[in-house]
Structure 1
């Protein structure tokens, strides 16, 4: 359940697509990242039953502002409520970024979230589209599902609106902020909608250090999701509220 353009290593969960290519950048470029996180939080919800995750992503920059890529993460089946699901998430995404000037850019694209071994009956694979506008360090984004929202009956057309900021305190230290609201459509699904927020710091090792490209992040994440609806139980009978307040740590390497 990753989202391109989330906060803090994409909310300490996802592979972030570069918003703009430099004017003298090659027509085709390849970049990527790998990360270890203390808890894979997606829009405030733990995807690992509040346990660590390993993640990797690859982004292909194409001519004229187009891009495509892949991102994957280990997950917990308990956090998805599908006992026969393999413990892995794969995201396939693509889109187009337009640079208006040095401060303003726009992005439009889509993502297909695919869970290997996902049975047809569970049907949680999801397709989502987004449109975003960025001004300097602040991004506003609207996302809408053209499929059911991760298998929830009658939820086609669910949407998520978000505001993300990455304010540079120094050349290496960034203040990260995020707020978003998930609207889940469908009869009887109103109680599932919620708001999430995040505040964190990211330190990226400069190029002239012994470990260029390494980044260290910490973030406070919380939601107002209903505890009765977002408390799940694993196969061992352990119950956890997957939307509660937490501090999440990550170590990542870009390449």
Structure 2
């Protein structure tokens, strides 16, 4: 079973649904997700309930590519976000795998905010760590984002997901920027092909002052196909 199905808690703790390991067979999969609010890395990108779509194709050699779509609000303009990503994931041992790739974020009505990121990470059975580097984060300047995520089973059907992220923006136009951090904790369960999650999120400082702060409560329902 693919990583995003076996560890939906980690998936739901991230802004982008990028798996860290896949089965050694070609397959196409997707998720249709209803979120209470589209938030990521400590900022609210869409403050109302939103319907999001992710499609992905994996190859037997570990290569994968996919796309993610969601409504967003940038600079008081509601528009669409399209994210394309591609990479490769391979298992190192029975419990350890690595993953690396690139993403491209495109905003349909505000191309100034477009940016891409390079990422690399490793995953154990219940935890993962990833580093993202962007030359022009949200059209601003260079940044590095560290993502730590994990999931712990509480019962046969319920698990606890946790995520901590730290963003280090480099100087913008010669002005030093402050580091920021975000945290999310959620309860996650699967009902057939549907993953349900509800939890709490918060941030420390902000690197994008024009973006609203996300709500403390977060919830979503994802249908996997």
Same fold at TM > 0.5: yes
Query: Contact between 1:8 and 1:219, CA under 8 Å: does it hold in 2?
Result: no
Task: Give unpaired runs (5+ residues) of structure 2.
Answer: none
1:151 is aligned to 2:129? no
Give how far 1:182 is off.
0.7
Query: Contact between 2:133 and 2:144, CA under 8 Å: does it hold in 1?
Result: yes
The aligned residue for residue 125 of structure 2 is 136
The aligned residue for residue 58 of structure 2 is 61
C-alpha separation between the residues in 1 aligned to 2:152 and 2:92?
20
Q: Which has the higher contact order (CA 8 A, sep 6+)?
A: 2
Query: Contact between 1:6 and 1:164, CA under 8 Å: does it hold in 2?
Result: no
The aligned residue for residue 16 of structure 2 is 14
Which protein shows a greater Rg?
1
**Which is further off, 58-67 or 165-174?**
165-174
Task: Give unpaired runs (5+ residues) of structure 1.
Answer: 206-211, 233-241
Query: Contact between 1:177 and 1:200, CA under 8 Å: does it hold in 2?
Result: yes
Alpha-carbon displacement from aligned partner over 1:145-174 (angstroms, at most 9, x marks no partner): 1x311111xx13x10012100122233222
- Once the two structures are superposed, the pairs formed by residues 89-168 of structure 1 within 5 Å of their partners are 89-119=81-111, 123-145=112-134, 147-152=135-140, 155-156=141-142, 158-168=143-153
Alpha-carbon displacement from aligned partner over 1:186-225 (angstroms, at most 9, x marks no partner): 222413x3011111111111xxxxxx21111012110112
- Once the two structures are superposed, the pairs formed by residues 166-245 of structure 1 within 5 Å of their partners are 166-186=151-171, 187-191=174-178, 193-205=179-191, 212-226=192-206, 230=209, 242-243=212-213
C-alpha separation between the residues in 2 aligned to 1:53 and 1:92?
19
Distance change in 2, residues 1:244/1:29 (3 Å): closer
Give how far 1:13 is off.
4.2
Distance change in 2, residues 1:224/1:185 (3 Å): same
User: Alpha carbon RMSD of aligned pairs, Å?
Assistant: 2.3
* TM-score of the pair, normalised by structure 1: 0.78
Count of residues in correspondence between the two structures: 218
Give how far 1:16 is off.
3.7
SS of the aligned residue for 2:12 comes to helix
Alpha-carbon displacement from aligned partner over 1:55-101 (angstroms, at most 9, x marks no partner): 00011001311100001111123xxx2x5x55111100010101012
* TM-score of the pair, normalised by structure 2: 0.88
